[in-house]
Structure 1
């Protein structure tokens, strides 16, 4: 039962008052600061940013000049003669020249950061040699290269020789540089976005932009932003102020001396105001005041919120690790936390009881299922065995009757004697051999068998009836009364350090049909209406219940005949028994 608390003890009231205590002084400080705000010297900020703009522009032009110089050197390469229209040029010479030129431009492209591609166009061979530092896919690269080929084929005379030119592709804008050598075109192209990459490091604020324009100040990029803000750029090289939809902007521009474009910077006025010394000092004072108020806020909130929350968090961490005995202490706190603590403790108690009941029910169900799976008996096998005894009694073959009865007695004694989920491999093999003796009496001369098991594996624990069930499956579906088959049982370990063993049952019969083999290897059930092949499903289900996930497996394949391979993990006790057997064998 919760005690009645006053209105002021409510968590909501405490949080509201605490936030007001923090926010009201901050708002008062900001209002006072707004009254002391003055006009700023925009020209000083504009000049500083113009110097920065000019610095980056010079760096771009330096790179453009370097690329242009290389293209000029490339246009004088002797190998270009082999790409020109000349019927005396052999094709092998053309290919070798092409490879040398490709290596040359590829090596240079690796050192030319902004360039998208260096290219050589040979119209006589309708060939385009180019580097591939552009495009997100082969299709995009091929589309762009084809666009440039068409441009060179149709308008090669209109393209300025040895000068960077803005070129608008179907999807993107590029800066193009071409030098003509006879009918060969040598050049480079750069995506315009790469030109303004260095300007992204300049902080112009959220609304600030670096824009590339043509020589007449027509924007190439950020056109949608300019339309949204309602800004039209003017042909002015000196800084000027322009009003946009969301803010006023300082406009700075720098023309390029190597190409027909301008670099224009739009700096929001609010960014300039924030950078003034007076505002910086006020910001420092506000920051210091905020830190002090934040410390005070933390101290106040520690006892009101943090301590109860940390108690809940620690309890939930223990709960995540499986500790269902964890409980929250009953301490004096806010009304909401007292309610949460009590509900948490009740919930954990309920979960604890439900989990115990669920575990017990799951264990009982698994035990029942395993017991049921182990006790599945084929009634036809039992009736056929009794029929054989009847026929032998008619023939008065008492020796065979005794042998058959003894084998059946041993068979059913093994089936019913143990409630264990595991038996020794030696006992499992004795039961399997006893089963094979019964089948030899039923089908004389119909099959032979061979067992290859080292004695060191006899003490390893395996699920009961796992081998006998698969041998029974082999006799049921692989036996052919016209031709004798051979059944092989083998147990081994692939590598001495492996922590599992391999049990393999194979025969020389016709093997699995393609349909059955496909269903078995897809872990799909293949039980007919008459209950055929229930043994394989039985084994697979018991392996799932007895071992951890993916530790045990059963696989099916056709070799000479049908082959079934089972992988069973070895527990530490099995490994110790194997080591002790090997040690005793070596001492003997």
Structure 2
């Protein structure tokens, strides 16, 4: 707000300076325009033209009388304006000049050359040394093309112009400048010589506004910042400018700003003190409590909190410690019972492997022996022995993923012999780094068995079984088992999804539901099995496990 107020005041100061410059420039234009009009009237005066054209036809009395009348008129012109210091009239036929103050026998050659210079006659005002002059001739040599018979020179009063410029500048260090835009002359008031060049250069450069509009700007010179305003006069061909030190103008604002800064620092100090008090007595104890809750959330029940002050936090801390002690007691009471119950359920689920596969396998083996397919029977016995060895193995509840997949592939090889080439099985390799990860036993083979039993058993040809792997992050693996069976409809698929969603309430757990329940008991509710329609056309089962190293007994 303080900065915005200062900008508003600066803008008002600049506009005030521009308005003052415009007023003084308008006054100068009015006065000098009037002098220009009088100058033209004088060079066209009948009495003066008579004296200038036929002086030899006048006797001495008439000539003297005419000269006195001319001097009187010049004095009248001089007295009509405070800006006129002297008026001179040059009569070439008499080779002499008359001025408002006295009689001159001859005009200095440089002045005569100046007023007869066509370039000066084009300009309303021109400089000659320390003088500012206005000139006029009759007839106009620029257009007539012949020597003049009468010439008039009006010398402007430099002291009076300086007094007017001084009244424009306000405050200590201010100044005003009136200059010809061509750089021939300039009058400055209250401006040091060291600053005059800088101000003049600025006005003649980009800051010079020759469109007739006011120019407002900031200028720095000799380490001092100035407010400036200027205006160009097309009528006079001059520029009027005023400069005021910014420090003088903005001193009250600077004092106010210093007060604002002081009050802001005091308020900031109070805010810091109050913030420290809040941090020490409220935020810090609350943060300790939140940190402790997070540690408890991560499973650390050894956290204890102590508070020195007898306040609300002391009460909360004591009850927090009591709560953790009670939780530890409850965990100690139910942990062993829960582990025993879980292990019992896992063993029960694992024992529910469908023996129907065994009956079919031995029936097929009997047929191979009768048909004397000894080589095929031997190969089937090899895979069957490995299969039985895996499922009858005692002790280990978990095996490596590599061992689980070898068992599943042995099952696939047995089924390939059974289906005699009507089913093609594709098994992707295990992703690198997952071979040694420990998984529950018999989680992949039941899914493959389900695909053969419900999806591929009725396929007469071109059956397809695919087992794939997909890593999700560093510790999650998705195993996909899908087939191209044609017996699965949407109603059956939705029923299977509902059964998986209510796995904990199911009375009978076999097949896919068996594996799903075991995975959730082992890894948690975020893992298990999802089912969907396969791109091959049959059922697609996704089995999700987590990487667990070093749990093999």
TM band (smaller chain)? 0.3 to 0.5
TM-score, reference length from structure 2: 0.38
Q: Quick check: which has more Rg, 1 or 2?
A: 2
TM score, norm. by length of structure 1: 0.36
